[in-house]
Structure 1
Amino acid sequence: MTLEYTGRLDDETVFDTSRESVAEEAGLTEAQPDREYAPLTVDVGDEQVIEGMEEGLIGLEAGETETLTIPPEKAYGEPSDDRVQEFETEELREMLGGQTPEEGTYLEAQNGSQGEVVHVDEDVVRVDFNPRLAGETLKFDVEIIDVN
């Protein structure tokens, strides 16, 4: 199945889209200048997209448009304290080649997950590895281009 989509939060903020004009309007192209915008192709049933989107796409036909509202439990889950990790400031500084991380910056763990630095002091750095969209209800406007 091939589709165009725009993902919004409850407050209508666009966080992701396949349409370049929407991305430009929402200011997403500045944050990801190398990203290419194109329709998304998914094999429904292969868990390539979040559970709620996969369920919402079942049965849609080419040419149909739909708004899917996806609660956190079928999207990125609820934020969890277990995903906030503490590091010794000195140890992390060494791993970052002598730099001290600043609050609000993002670090990538060895497993590829991204975390936001949420606290820094002389002893401890806390990094939140919760998905950026954890706890959010997501709305996707989808337009089905093709069903294969």
Structure 2
Amino acid sequence: MTIATGDSVTLEYTGRLDDETVFDTSREAVAEEAGLAEAQPDREYTPLTVDVGAEQVIEGMEEGLVGLEAGETTTLTIPPEKAYGEHSEERVQEFETEELREMLGGQTPEEGAYLEAQNGQHGEVVHSGEAVVRVDFNPRLAGETLTFEIEIVEVN
């Protein structure tokens, strides 16, 4: 059965960056080899099931699934505009250090820390100075071309 919009598809996948770094996978052995399993010890690595057309995965993956069949394997190369978009300086925001410290219950944010804004967005502290803290609210994979190795397990 050829995959079409509206189908429920179960797949195994491994996502890599241009430098071959694995950033996500459904396969436990790959996660262990790449060090992901150690970083996320509570995560279960199992096949992913998505409804094609329901925007549950990035646009480039959804488009790449259409036309495939159960049992088929493929490699999808997805440019930033079909993944998490380009990195935007407009999504890097500055906060007064003292104001942010108060919002965090007295804690001083450190570079590399992740914060959740009141609107639910997640950001990484990219600069923490005495006067100003800069937080990058771009998606972690913004600006990246992503390569996914995909195996279609089942199509319903």
TM-score (norm 1): 0.97
Cα drift, residue 110 of structure 1: 2.2
Asked whether 1:25 is paired with 2:33, we answer yes
What is the percent sequence identity of the aligned residues? 86
| TM-align CA RMSD | 0.8
Cα drift, residue 23 of structure 1: 0.4
Asked whether 1:78 is paired with 2:86, we answer yes
Amino acid in the other structure paired with 2:29: S
Partner of 2:5: none
Aligned length: 148
Asked whether 1:99 is paired with 2:140, we answer no
Amino acid in the other structure paired with 2:63: E
Q: CA–CA distance in 1 between the matches of 2:115 and 2:146?
A: 25
Unaligned runs of 5+ in 2: 1-8
Match runs of 1:1-148 below 5 Å: 1-148=9-156
Q: CA–CA distance in 1 between the matches of 2:132 and 2:70?
A: 53
Q: CA–CA distance in 1 between the matches of 2:127 and 2:70?
A: 48
TM-score (norm 2): 0.92
> Residues 52-109 of structure 1: CA distance to partner in whole angstroms, max 9, x if unpaired?
0000000110100000000000000101011011111011111111110111111111
Task: State which drifts further: 93-102 or 8-17.
Answer: 93-102
Q: CA–CA distance in 2 between the matches of 1:33 and 1:112?
A: 24
Cα drift, residue 112 of structure 1: 2.5
Unaligned runs of 5+ in 1: none
Cα drift, residue 49 of structure 1: 0.4
Amino acid in the other structure paired with 1:6: T
Q: CA–CA distance in 1 between the matches of 2:112 and 2:65?
A: 35
